[in-house]
């Protein structure tokens, strides 16, 4: 049974009050959801709090939600919504933020290491290049390449049209190529001059 089907089965069991099945959903999704929330909120404790709130709400309202086709993406979409609500409530600069607004995800060198890139210069250049992308493109790149989502899944979580997601990822990759090309010229020049 694939992961999506297993999550659906656990959710159906949770609908009937099976706490162990809900716990399995928690165990399966926790780290990915935390990483995503942390990238949005940029505060470890707040990300933990929002994640805790998500699981509590999902358990308490499970009957209202009923059967869910894609459990993982429903949880991620709900997490994104809770993160936006948290930002609006806790930080004045986010008061006008809505679900359709861009979320600023910041990449660190450690995030880039997840991609198993080698060489400190490459890691540094990639992290810098990722952080120059527009917010929406950073979020799409994060979901596509750091969390291995397909375009349909990203569209479902972010509320964007499929083609819009494809366009954002494509533009982001093209901008990364340009930035990395410029960066490699700078590094090459520095090495030649030293």
Residue pLDDT tens, the chain, 194 long: 567 789 999 999 999 999 999 999 999 999 889 988 988 888 899 999 999 999 999 999 999 989 998 899 899 989 988 998 898 888 765 545 544 455 666 666 565 555 444 455 556 677 778 888 888 888 888 888 887 888 988 888 888 899 999 998 888 888 888 877 776 554 443 433 33
Residue pair 54/78 in contact (Cβ under 8 Å)? The answer is: yes
Give the torsion through C-alpha atoms of 118, 119, 122, 128, to 10 deg: 100
């Amino acid at each position: 049974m694939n992961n999506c089907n297993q999550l659906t089965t656990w959710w159906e069991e949770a609908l009937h009050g099976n706490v162990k099945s809900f716990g399995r959903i928690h165990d399966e999704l926790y780290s990915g959801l935390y990483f995503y929330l942390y990238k949005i909120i940029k505060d470890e404790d707040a990300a933990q709090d929002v994640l805790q709130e998500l699981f509590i709400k999902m358990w308490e309202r499970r009957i209202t939600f009923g059967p869910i086709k894609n459990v993982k993406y429903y949880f991620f979409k709900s997490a994104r919504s809770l993160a936006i609500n948290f930002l609006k409530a806790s930080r004045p600069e986010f008061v006008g933020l809505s679900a359709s607004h861009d979320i600023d995800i910041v990449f660190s060198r450690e995030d880039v290491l997840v991609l198993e890139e080698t060489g400190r210069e490459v890691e540094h250049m990639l992290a810098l290049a990722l952080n120059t992308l527009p917010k929406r493109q950073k979020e799409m790149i994060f979901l596509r390449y750091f969390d291995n989502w397909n375009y349909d899944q990203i569209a479902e979580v972010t509320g964007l049209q499929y083609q819009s997601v494809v366009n954002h990822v494509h533009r982001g990759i093209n901008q990364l190529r340009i930035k990395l090309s410029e960066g490699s010229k700078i590094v090459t020049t520095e090495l030649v001059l030293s």
